[in-house]
Structure 1
Amino acid sequence: MLKSEGDEESSHLTKPLQSKRFRPSQVKEIIKKVLTDRLTGHEYHPENTPSTCREISDEIRNLMKDLDYDRYKYNVQVVMGESKGQGLHFSFKALWDWNIDGFAQESFYNDSLFAVAVVFGTYYYS
């Protein structure tokens, strides 16, 4: 099967075009909008938290597809908890190319709960 000229170019890219790079500022806007829309006025209920986190993760991931970052894979993590004045620390380790891969995070707080969402965008080399 013959490849078109456009297919040939895209199949041998070793890094994304500048216009198709992961842009944390755009991703932060998506995360903030989803968290605000979904959690404003929401009260913490431990029995609903797993499904709420999953729904928020799915919504963020689906909106990421609209950004059309070619050949990026997304990992979306959402953590929610009851707001009682406590702190939260979490970290991650990954194989990472700081020149191409990226991440964005955003937080939401109200009197009842806190939520932190992080999106990792890693470029898929072929």
Structure 2
Amino acid sequence: MEVSDTYLIRPNYQHKFKPTIVKECIREILRERLSGVRYNPEEVANLSESLADSIKDKVKDAGFQRYKLIVQVVIGEQRGQGVKMSCRCLWDADTDKYVEDVFMNDSLFCVVAVFGVYYY
């Protein structure tokens, strides 16, 4: 659905960004696409881009109208190392939300963050 020329400063409840729904979308795609996958440095760029597109499409289908979606996917080789990620944003705490999830197997780890920013 296209954003109309109306000026809504708050989303309707049924269209509000719901982190639990988004987290389930992320988990479903990561389990489906990464179970049994071995880390391959030559394929990681394409895989992370493909995962980001799939997650964005699935979250879009959930019907969060007037939200801009930002999907970040990081894939690394599983070697027992620690990884720290951070992000800074300016946003409205009443309408904007984010969700993160982590997938790990014996070969790789994948960290996904999805940001839903309400478009006024």
Q: What TM-score comes out, normalization by structure 1 length?
A: 0.90
- Look up the match of 2:27: 32
Mapping for residues 1-126 of structure 1, pairs under 5 Å: 11-125=6-120
Q: 1:29: Cα distance to partner? A: 0.2
Q: Which has the larger radius of gyration?
A: 1
Q: List structure 1 segments (4+ residues) > 3 angstroms apart after TM superposition.
A: none
Q: State the one-letter code of the partner of 1:13.
A: L
Distance 1:70 1:39 in 2: 29
Report the RMSD for the aligned CA atoms in angstroms.
Answer: 1.0
SS at match of 1:116: strand
Q: Deviations over 1:59-101 (max 9, x none)?
A: 0001111111110000000000000000111111111111100
What is the aligned-residue identity percentage?
42
Gaps of 5+ in 2: none
Please state whether the residue corresponding to 1:79 is helix, strand or coil: strand
